[in-house]
């Protein structure tokens, strides 16, 4: 009984946190895109890079390569030239070309809308697949766990894990499913704006009263 009540309290607090953060941040992806393919490419580029750096290079990239066929046929050196301001750009260019080639050969040039199909694409792991499924298709198949979600979910007591796969499992169990998409966006924005890595701005945090770091316990 005590364990069930503690679990219910944790779920209640988590929902309160998500609801409050949802009032302060846009529940949307920070990567600029116009269609699922652009989002897929931008998300591949965002690994170990900021959304701002990706958004600076993608307008010219998207104009040059309007569809999967264009990416699949791209000359590696030319494609790299559009993204060389981003870390690991050579490997990311290889992944983009490989993913596009598979889209053309197996999916009619369209981005698939299932986890299993997305995970077949080079450069796509669960985080990228969850971004595409949630943002492009509105499908809540999991929770995006990037560095911000990892840090903020730990600080807020949503998980004690450090492995992204285990963190995603914990968040999926704790959050209502209709928050799986928006909740990750809320934590990402919060991690960028206030709950930053080195010195979180706790004094102006909208969920200060709900944070275990300040004294609230489950």
DSSP structure class, residue 195: S
Q: Are 152 and 187 in contact (CB under 8 A)?
A: yes
Report d(CA 177, CA 143) in Å as an integer: 9
Report d(CA 92, CA 124) in Å as an integer: 11
Catalytic residue among 7, 116, 127, 199: 127
Q: Which residue has the tokens 């070309």?
A: 97
Residues in the chain: 218
Catalytic residue among 146, 199, 201, 218: 146
Angle between helix axes 76-83 and 51-64 (nearest 10 degrees) is 140
Query: Among this protein's residues, is 170 annotated catalytic?
Result: no
Tokens representing residue 7 in the block = 């679990």
Report d(CA 36, CA 209) in Å as an integer: 38
Query: Among this protein's residues, is 166 annotated catalytic?
Result: no
For residue 207, give the nearest of 198, 103, 55, 193 by alpha carbon.
193
List the Cα angle 88/94/100 in 5-degree steps: 130
Torsion sign, CA atoms 198, 201, 206, 209? positive
- Would you please indicate which residues are annotated as catalytic (active-site) residues? 127, 146
């Amino acid at each position: 009984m005590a364990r069930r009540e503690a679990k219910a309290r944790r779920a209640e607090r988590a929902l309160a946190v998500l609801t409050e953060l949802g009032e302060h941040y846009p529940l949307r992806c920070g990567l600029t895109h116009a269609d699922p393919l652009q989002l897929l490419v931008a998300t591949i580029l965002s690994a170990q890079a900021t959304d701002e750096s990706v958004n600076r290079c993608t307008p010219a990239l998207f104009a040059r390569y309007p569809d999967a066929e264009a990416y699949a046929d791209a000359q590696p050196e030319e494609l790299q030239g559009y993204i060389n301001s981003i870390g690991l750009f050579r490997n990311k260019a290889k992944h983009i070309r490989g993913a596009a080639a598979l889209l053309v050969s197996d999916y009619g040039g369209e981005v698939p809308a299932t986890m299993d199909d997305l995970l077949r694409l080079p450069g796509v792991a669960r985080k990228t697949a969850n971004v595409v499924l949630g943002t492009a298709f509105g499908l809540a198949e999991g929770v995006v766990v990037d560095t911000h979600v990892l840090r903020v979910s730990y600080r807020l007591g949503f998980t004690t894990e450090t492995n992204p796969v285990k963190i995603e499992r914990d968040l999926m169990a704790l959050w209502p499913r209709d928050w799986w998409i928006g909740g990750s966006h809320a934590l990402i924005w919060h991690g960028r704006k206030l709950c930053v890595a080195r010195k979180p701005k706790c004094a102006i945090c909208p969920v200060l009263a709900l944070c275990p770091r300040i004294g609230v316990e489950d």
